[in-house]
Amino acid sequence: MDESLIRSYLETTYTTFNPKMEMVVGNINNELNIYLKEIHQTHWAFITAENPRSQSLSVKVNAIRNSTLESYLIKNNLHYLKGAGIPKD
């Protein structure tokens, strides 16, 4: 993966919508730590089914992929929050 792309991912603010929290790679987020304790979890990940391996796909294909991911999370009773990655620039 291209170094500038890696840098972009590392500088992105990863935001959840409800509850609203913002995470940045390398920064501790006490609000997130409190939330994880409240839901009895110790691990988390920010994932998406969009644009795998940074290869752009159409809006329609990305919507289908994310819907499939959400269905999987629900089917497997996995806790999740909706969110977005907000690039630095």
CB-based contacts of 44, cutoff 8 Å, min separation 6: 32, 36
- Residue listed under structure tokens 């935001």: 15
Entry pTM:
0.84
The closest alpha carbon to 87, from 5, 3, 1, belongs to: 5
Q: What is the pLDDT of residues 43-64, one digit of tens each?
A: 999 999 999 989 999 999 999 9
Cis peptide before 52 (omega within 30 of 0): no
Q: What is the pLDDT of residues 14-37, one digit of tens each?
A: 999 999 999 999 999 999 999 999
